[in-house]
Structure 1
Amino acid sequence: MHQDNKRISILKDILLRLHQGADPKTVQEDFNRHFTGVSAIEISMMEHQLISEDNEITFEDVMKLCNVHANLFKGAIHDNDIADADLPGHPVRVLKDENLAFQASLMRINRLLDNLEASPPAQWEDGLLDGLKKQMKILGQFKRHYNRKEEVIFPIMERYGHNAPPKVMWGVDDEIRDLYTQSLKSIEDLPDTDIKEVKRKFQLFEVEFREMIFKEEAILIQILLEILTEDDWLTIAENSEDYGYAIVKPTEKWQPKRENLEKSEPDKTNPINRIFDVTDTDDQNIKVKFETGYLTLKEIDRIFDHLQLEITFVSKDNFFTYFNNQVDPEPKILPRNTSAIGRHVEKCHPPRVVEKVKRIFENLQNKITDRETMWFSRNGFFALIIYRGVYDKEGEFMGVLETVQNIEPLFELQNQPDQRQVSTDRSDT
């Protein structure tokens, strides 16, 4: 068995024992014997297998024991160190800053509750109860934090095949929302309700809320740092504004560094050296001569967009310089956006595959191979990815062309009747 699969199998067995009622202390000892560290990715894969396999474990079972799972992994999860994640405005920094604000708010609310409990209602200081209600309303902004996580982050995770953690976490989020609503109502009923009951309801909420903070930072964020590209983080940052922020708002907009490809171009006063904009009506009809004919800039642009392929090009200096914007309505297999232009190719991929990408590009650049092929099958399509080195006529390396295609429909052609027509080759006439 592959080592990674073996680790996942052991983790799954440990959690199954928890589900079947084993003593958590005994299970913790077994866990410590087998693991000195565990990645968040392994937790994601393990939960996915638990839910999808026929082992009598349901989604609801996994959700109920979510805290048990989280406690099991405390102190054992390997952190990912991604420099940009600490920069102001980066979605990870935003999530962590909000979690710090939540914890500060919890402390203030607990102090206020303790002060109220220390004396009878008749002796409560003016403004103390109003202050408690105000703090609870402020803490209630955590719903924006959850909404942003669920509506912006989870869909990207699911695109990478990580379906179980979002499903489980969203279910627990809803339970926390309900606990908050119950706690808030009891506080709003003060002083006509027992302060001890109010504290009890708040503590029920607080325990689950703090556990979610741990799960986000030790599990969710670690998964995201392993699988997401810088483009994904940009998408999250750009869409987050629509859902708002909780208690604290980013003071800066995170913008990763991009290489200005135009600044290194030759003298642009010479029309031959200009970078033409095909959206410019003065430039789009300029014809480009090829060995086999002529095309206008507009025709070149539209031909590339009509290909049944997703294509990208990386320059010899390893900068991402082009992708086609297909006109077909089908969702893209590997979505790109213009903010990625000028990025180093290593930042276009999740950290976990960077070394593999570097090796592919080095092989192509050094002509160890002339093409590299990868594939994966997911959600009803079979994606074929081909990397090819591009060279000039003297054999000098110019860059790497990547093509991505859903070839699932090609498999279906095997079952279709032969539709070949009479040849129109002129040699037949």
Structure 2
Amino acid sequence: MSENRIEILRDILIELHQGASPESVQERFDQHFQGVSALEISMMEHELMNSDSGVTFEDVMSLCNVHANLFKGAIADVEVADTEQEGHPVYVFKQENLALRSAIARIRRIMDNYSKPENEDFREDLLKGLKHQVSLVGQFHNHYTRKEKLFFPVMERYGHDSPPKVMWGVDDDIRELFKQARSQVDQLPDLPIEEVVESFEAFAKEFEEMIFKEEAILLMILLETFTQDDWLAIAEESDPYGYAIIKPTAKWVPHRESFGQSADAEVEIEEQSSDDLQEAASQEMNAAQPNTRVIDTPEGQFTITYTPKVKEESPVDRHTEQPFGNGYLTVEQANLILDHLPLEITFVNKDDIFQYYNNSVPANEMIFKRTPSQIGRHVELCHPPKVLEKVKKIFQLLKSGEKDKVVMWFKSERLGKFVYVTYAAVRDDQGEFQGALEYVQEIQDFFELESDFKRDID
């Protein structure tokens, strides 16, 4: 992949941001590109947002649809084995989009029939069906959240941090458009149907554009970059975030190939003891070497080299007592205590890296859902762009010592309960900032205490 190719893409987008019409650059684009790799789009956005061109994240986000339209019909498809198998995250993702498109089409038909005078006697039933279909479309929140919490962290680990920032910002804009459209549907029949249609179409236009971006750009980046193990991890962590309209009906079991072993070698391995195999596997993991992947594009091949993370065994015996505060605990006991606290705890270290969370409740019951893929992620990347400044402000207050705690509370629509959130600075004996502890608690029960005291056991 030549640098000149990316520079041309970047220059075209800069022209768009400086006010050129899409039509004026389309011809130049078509002259230079027969097929565009989604990886090139990712690299182009990264360079654009990190250059001295003056183009910001907000600029890229505001022209996201223009960019996507520019690439329509030109983006090279990537074929990867297993992705059309039942239960594979890509298969599920596409099936959700298909179901969501179908629900949007049904909403359009219902609103069209609702507006016809001859259907006045049936409007109550039509309205009931309309609200049901809108509630189905509303499940796109689960689809977007899985994308943001599971796809994006892996993308960032491979260096593709610009597309997630842009796409998450557009996701939030779409969420707001849906909120407005749903509110107007709820006001029927008191609102003119024309106003409701206009509001819904404003949402649907952006939503359908996002489906194109997901399937023609985002998934192409993922398919060119992610390993089979990445997809397995995503599949295993998807359930807590839920699905949109459809759910996987089977667990994806990937086909695994063995390479470079003769029949004699296979027999020899079978004869080894399980202990020998475990020791050999451990040595192989500890000596992890850089992996190389060659990716084909219409312009030739390019190579990505990366070193897989090695899972190191803890040198501490988890069942040997260690000094803890005013007593002694084993690591296992400390872990159990943290998991039994009636709080959701998250620890972000002094370098702003999400380092730990406890398992006080199953992931699908968490107030703020956490999954293992988020460990090691920069805290700013764990939040949508619309709240990024608030996150930065909290950490600034805690790090500077201006505050030791920042508290917030809100009534959760999803839970129907009050939630109390505390961000606390963690400092060592010398007062040095070592990180921030977030603890989240559902406090609805406190509002419903039956008396001033209770000291008896029921």
Shorter-chain TM band = 0.5 to 0.7
Instruction: Choose from 310, 313, 333 the match for 1:327.
Output: 313
Residue 248 of structure 1 corresponds to 246
Residue 132 of structure 1 corresponds to 130
2:237 is paired with a residue whose SS is helix
Matched, 1:141 2:126: no
CA shift for structure 1 position 153: 0.6
CA shift for structure 1 position 124: 4.0
Residue 388 of structure 2 corresponds to none
CA–CA separation in structure 2 for the residues paired with 1:156 and 1:184: 33
Residue 8 of structure 1 corresponds to 6
CA–CA separation in structure 1 for the residues paired with 2:233 and 2:137: 27
TM-score (structure 1 length as normaliser)? 0.64
Instruction: Choose from 171, 177, 196 the match for 1:179.
Output: 177
Given residue 140 of structure 2, which amino acid in structure 1 is its aligned partner? Answer: F
CA shift for structure 1 position 25: 0.6
Q: Counterparts of 1:268-307 in structure 2 under 5 Å?
A: 273-277=271-275, 304=283
CA–CA separation in structure 2 for the residues paired with 1:73 and 1:95: 21
1:127 is paired with a residue whose SS is helix
Residue 51 of structure 1 corresponds to 49
2:2 is paired with a residue whose SS is helix
CA–CA separation in structure 1 for the residues paired with 2:223 and 2:136: 29
Per-residue Cα deviation, 1:237-266 (whole angstroms, up to 9, x for no partner):
111112111111112111112369999446
Shift in CA distance, 177/225, structure 1 to aligned 2, threshold 3 Å: same
Shift in CA distance, 197/163, structure 1 to aligned 2, threshold 3 Å: same
Segments of structure 1 that go 5 or more residues without pairing to the other structure are: 279-296, 314-322, 331-378, 380-429
CA RMSD between the two structures: 3.1
Residue 163 of structure 1 corresponds to 161
CA shift for structure 1 position 54: 1.4
Residue 221 of structure 1 corresponds to 219
Per-residue Cα deviation, 1:272-326 (whole angstroms, up to 9, x for no partner):
x442348xxxxxxxxxxxxxxxxxx99x68995996x54699xxxxxxxxx9741
Given residue 326 of structure 1, which amino acid in structure 2 is its aligned partner? Answer: E
CA–CA separation in structure 1 for the residues paired with 2:204 and 2:281: 56
CA–CA separation in structure 1 for the residues paired with 2:117 and 2:67: 40
Residue 150 of structure 2 corresponds to 152
Shift in CA distance, 31/302, structure 1 to aligned 2, threshold 3 Å: closer
Per-residue Cα deviation, 1:193-227 (whole angstroms, up to 9, x for no partner):
11111000000000000000000000000000101
Conserved in 2, the CA contact under 8 Å of 1:311 and 1:324?
Answer: no
CA shift for structure 1 position 4: 1.9
Conserved in 1, the CA contact under 8 Å of 2:37 and 2:75?
Answer: yes
Aligned length: 297
CA shift for structure 1 position 167: 0.5
CA shift for structure 1 position 81: 1.2
Relative to structure 2, which stretch is displaced further, 243-252 or 131-140? 243-252
Shift in CA distance, 310/82, structure 1 to aligned 2, threshold 3 Å: closer
CA–CA separation in structure 1 for the residues paired with 2:38 and 2:44: 10
1:83 is paired with a residue whose SS is coil
Instruction: Choose from 34, 53, 64 the match for 2:62.
Output: 64
CA shift for structure 1 position 56: 1.1
Shift in CA distance, 306/130, structure 1 to aligned 2, threshold 3 Å: closer
2:159 is paired with a residue whose SS is coil
Instruction: Choose from 23, 33, 36 the match for 1:35.
Output: 33
1:128 is paired with a residue whose SS is helix
Residue 72 of structure 2 corresponds to 74
Shift in CA distance, 124/276, structure 1 to aligned 2, threshold 3 Å: closer
Matched, 1:20 2:6: no
Given residue 236 of structure 2, which amino acid in structure 1 is its aligned partner? Answer: E
TM-score (structure 2 length as normaliser)? 0.60
CA–CA separation in structure 1 for the residues paired with 2:65 and 2:122: 37
CA shift for structure 1 position 65: 0.3
Conserved in 1, the CA contact under 8 Å of 2:142 and 2:242?
Answer: yes
2:160 is paired with a residue whose SS is coil
Shift in CA distance, 303/249, structure 1 to aligned 2, threshold 3 Å: closer
Conserved in 2, the CA contact under 8 Å of 1:38 and 1:77?
Answer: yes
CA shift for structure 1 position 119: 2.3
Instruction: Choose from 206, 209, 232 the match for 1:208.
Output: 206
Conserved in 1, the CA contact under 8 Å of 2:87 and 2:248?
Answer: yes
Which protein has the larger Cα radius of gyration, Structure 1 or Structure 2?
1
Given residue 177 of structure 1, which amino acid in structure 2 is its aligned partner? Answer: R
CA–CA separation in structure 2 for the residues paired with 1:122 and 1:225: 50
CA shift for structure 1 position 131: 0.5
Q: Counterparts of 1:400-415 in structure 2 under 5 Å?
A: none
2:123 is paired with a residue whose SS is coil
1:85 is paired with a residue whose SS is coil
Given residue 240 of structure 2, which amino acid in structure 1 is its aligned partner? Answer: D
Residue 192 of structure 2 corresponds to 194
Give percent identity, aligned residues only.
52
Shift in CA distance, 125/259, structure 1 to aligned 2, threshold 3 Å: same
2:240 is paired with a residue whose SS is coil
Residue 396 of structure 2 corresponds to none
Residue 87 of structure 2 corresponds to 89
2:313 is paired with a residue whose SS is coil
Segments of structure 2 that go 5 or more residues without pairing to the other structure are: 292-308, 316-348, 350-377, 379-458
Shift in CA distance, 38/258, structure 1 to aligned 2, threshold 3 Å: closer
Conserved in 1, the CA contact under 8 Å of 2:114 and 2:120?
Answer: no
Per-residue Cα deviation, 1:3-29 (whole angstroms, up to 9, x for no partner):
521010000000011111112111111
Residue 396 of structure 1 corresponds to none
CA shift for structure 1 position 327: 3.0
Relative to structure 2, which stretch is displaced further, 254-263 or 180-189? 254-263
Per-residue Cα deviation, 1:146-167 (whole angstroms, up to 9, x for no partner):
0000001100000000000001
